[in-house]
Structure 1
Amino acid sequence: MDVAELKARAQRRKLIIQGLIIAVTALAVYGAIQSAKVNLSALGLTSGFGFLERSTGWSYSFSLIDRDISDSYARTLTIGFLNTLFVGALTIVLSTIIGFLIGTFRDSRNPALKTAATVYTQIFRNIPLILQGIFWYAIMIHLPGPRQAMSLSDGVFLSNRGLMVPVLNLPLVVALVLVLIMIAAVFLLRKARIGIFQSAIAWVGLLVLLLLVASGLYVPTGESVFSWPELKGLRFVGGLTISPELLVMIIAIVLYGSAYIAEVVRGGLAEVPKGLIEAGEALGLNQRAIWSRIKMPMALRTIIPPLGNQWIFIMKATTIGVAIGFSDLFYIVSTSITQSGQTLELIAILMGCFLLVNFSIAQFVNWLNDKLKLKAH
């Protein structure tokens, strides 16, 4: 019997074993589903996803789109999913930016910066996230009311009703298009390899031009391109109000997540061979050039894999919203279970949504990691 035939037999044996494992797993799942149906029938509970078309009859604190108490379970769950995606994406971006900054400070030669970054990391990394969320929420609800709101700067106020900030007086779609155009401009200007000063002038000029065009087309006559919060009676009108629950979610998750990301960045920078740093110093490069041209590009290959794990963790951390009443997907599912009794179906929806989001993040991280690999010539 030759080697090729032995390999073919081994391959067939592996396929047969894998097929048997899949068949046994499928039978076990099928048996569990049938058993659950029988038990639910005995308790007088219906199964299936038909309840998604029924009206919920209850409201919640936050939504990115229009909502009403007559919304169906399907729309309410969609709103919760969008809220989770919004908070997760926002906190991932902010945590990454702050984490890279703190991680760089921890690698700094300046003792003050290094000590401050170390204290920050040790404090926020070692306090449980849900405890941080409850702590910040307790502070928020004990702030002064709107009439005594703290003015943080021109047009920015903080009270127990949340954070009031100016906002573009434009339709949401138009504002998103402006943001996408500015992001594209940043990448194009980087490709052009012009100086930082010239790039800043170009960004500001493009932003002013876009705002002028948008205000001429979409802003009502007599109104400003920016809507500013103003105190009228017992509340603020105009501008954008960030609810206390949303603000607490952002603060708690960003502080906690950035502390872990800072450790990932510090570890990646520490892995850069000292010989490369000494070579940069021998060439006369300053510390900023060494960081941007040598240390960070080399460290990214070490940073990206654990950074992806932190991104997934931050997305899962949005579930702390249930502790402070923020209407993320977990909160919506928990309330829906209480109202509808469709426990298995709603848990399956919750698991499927998080599996989809976290698998997408993992695939993006794998793609990014592959792009950063050293290519063999």
Structure 2
Amino acid sequence: MDASELKARANRRKLIIQTALIVFSALIVISAIQSAKVNLNALGLASGFGFLERSTGWSYSFSLIDRDINDSYARTLTIGFLNTVFLGSLTIVLSTVFGFLIGTFRDARNPALKTAATVYIQTFRNIPLILQGIFWYAVMIHLPGPRQAMNLGEAIFLSNRGLMIPLLNVSLTVALVMALVLIAAAFFLSRMKISFAKIVLALIGLSFFMILVATGLTVPAGEGAISWPALKGLRFEGGLTISPELLVMIIAITLYGSAYIAEVVRGGLAEVPKGLIEAGEALGLTQRAIWARIKMPMALRTIIPPLGNQWIFIMKATTIGVAIGFSDLFYIVSTSITQSGQTLELIAILMGAFLLVNFSIAQFINWLNESLKLKAH
């Protein structure tokens, strides 16, 4: 028997084994589904996703869109999904910004900056995230009431009802369009060979231009371009109120996530060859120029892969909101299971939603990592 026949026989054997494993796995899944149906029928519970059309009959603390106690399970779960994506995206951005800043301080030559960054990282990285969330929530609910709220310039107020800040007087749709335009502009400018400072200035100028246009076209006559929070009786009206639950989640996840990202950044900066840094110093470049033109561009190729893992972790970390009553998808699913009894279906929805979001983040990281690779010419 020659080598080709032996190889063909080995390939057939592998195919048979793989097919048998697939069939065996499928039989296990089918058997589990049938068993679950029998058990649910014995308990008088209907299986399937028909419950999504029923009204929930309960409310929750936070929503990005209009909500009502009579909303269906489908709409309520959609609201929970939007809340999770919103909180995860916001904390990913904040954690990344603070993480790069603190990681740079950790790599600095200044002993004070380096010590402060080290203390920050060791403190927030080693305390469990859920414990941090509960701590900040306890602090929040013990703040003064609205009438004794702490304020900054009579424009920003902090009380046990949350954080009240000024708000651009435009609709959510217009605000989303403006955000998408800024993201597209940032992506386009990043592809051009211009400095980071010029990109920032261009985005700031574009932001002011869009604000002027949006407020001029959409703000009703007699109203200002900015809605300011003001105390009316026992509560604040106008502006934007960030609920205590949302504010606590932002603070806790950002502090925790940025500590891990800072270590990723420090590790990436430490991987830059010292010879390149010494070459920059020999050319007379300042430390800031060396960081911006040598260290960070080289370090990004090392930073990006583990940074993606941290982004996925931060998105999954939003599930701790159930401990303080923040209405993310996990909280909504947990409450829905208690109210409807559709455990398997709701857990499947929860798993599918996180799989979709985290897979999207992973794909973006893969694209970013590929775009930063050195191209061979």
TM-score range, shorter chain: over 0.9
Alpha-carbon separation, structure 1, partners of 2:364 and 2:191: 22
Q: What is the aligned partner in structure 1 of residue 375 from structure 2? A: 375
Query: Per-residue deviation at 1:205?
Result: 4.1
Change (3 A) 1:278 1:4: farther
Query: Per-residue deviation at 1:142?
Result: 0.6
Q: Secondary structure at the match of 2:62?
A: coil
Over residues 84-122 of structure 1, what are the superposed CA-to-partner deviations in whole Å (9 max), with x where a residue is unaligned?
000001001110110011011100001010000000000
Q: What is the aligned partner in structure 2 of residue 168 from structure 1? A: 168
* Runs of 5+ consecutive residues of structure 1 not aligned to the other structure: none
Deviates more, 1:39-48 or 1:68-77: 39-48
**Paired AA for residue 67 in structure 1:** R
Deviates more, 1:123-132 or 1:148-157: 148-157
Change (3 A) 1:25 1:173: same
Q: What is the aligned partner in structure 2 of residue 79 from structure 1? A: 79
Q: Secondary structure at the match of 2:60?
A: coil
Query: Per-residue deviation at 1:130?
Result: 0.4
**Paired AA for residue 237 in structure 1:** E
Q: What is the aligned partner in structure 2 of residue 360 from structure 1? A: 360
TM-score by length of 1: 0.95
Alpha-carbon separation, structure 2, partners of 1:25 and 1:205: 57
Query: Per-residue deviation at 1:67?
Result: 0.7
Q: What is the aligned partner in structure 2 of residue 222 from structure 1? A: 222
**Paired AA for residue 130 in structure 2:** I
Q: Secondary structure at the match of 2:143?
A: coil
Q: What is the aligned partner in structure 2 of residue 275 from structure 1? A: 275
Q: What is the aligned partner in structure 1 of residue 235 from structure 2? A: 235
Q: How does 1:188-267 map to 2 (within 5 A)?
A: 188-189=188-189, 193=193, 202-267=202-267
Query: Per-residue deviation at 1:5?
Result: 4.2
Q: Secondary structure at the match of 2:151?
A: strand
Over residues 205-242 of structure 1, what are the superposed CA-to-partner deviations in whole Å (9 max), with x where a residue is unaligned?
43333222222211000111111101111111100000
Over residues 175-208 of structure 1, what are the superposed CA-to-partner deviations in whole Å (9 max), with x where a residue is unaligned?
2222333334444555565567766665444333
Alpha-carbon separation, structure 2, partners of 1:96 and 1:199: 18
Q: What is the aligned partner in structure 2 of residue 334 from structure 1? A: 334
Change (3 A) 1:363 1:201: closer
Query: Per-residue deviation at 1:281?
Result: 1.4
Deviates more, 1:191-200 or 1:248-257: 191-200
**Paired AA for residue 231 in structure 1:** L
Q: What is the aligned partner in structure 1 of residue 343 from structure 2? A: 343
State the number of aligned residues. 377
Q: Secondary structure at the match of 1:151?
A: strand
Q: Secondary structure at the match of 1:164?
A: strand
RMSD: 1.8
Q: What is the aligned partner in structure 1 of residue 297 from structure 2? A: 297
Deviates more, 1:259-268 or 1:288-297: 288-297
Deviates more, 1:152-161 or 1:116-125: 152-161
Q: Secondary structure at the match of 1:70?
A: coil
Deviates more, 1:275-284 or 1:190-199: 190-199
Q: How does 1:62-211 map to 2 (within 5 A)?
A: 62-189=62-189, 193=193, 202-211=202-211
Change (3 A) 1:166 1:92: same
Deviates more, 1:140-149 or 1:12-21: 12-21
**Paired AA for residue 338 in structure 2:** T
Alpha-carbon separation, structure 1, partners of 2:77 and 2:201: 44
TM-score by length of 2: 0.95
Query: Per-residue deviation at 1:321?
Result: 0.5
Q: What is the aligned partner in structure 2 of residue 33 from structure 1? A: 33
**Paired AA for residue 340 in structure 1:** S
**Paired AA for residue 249 in structure 1:** M
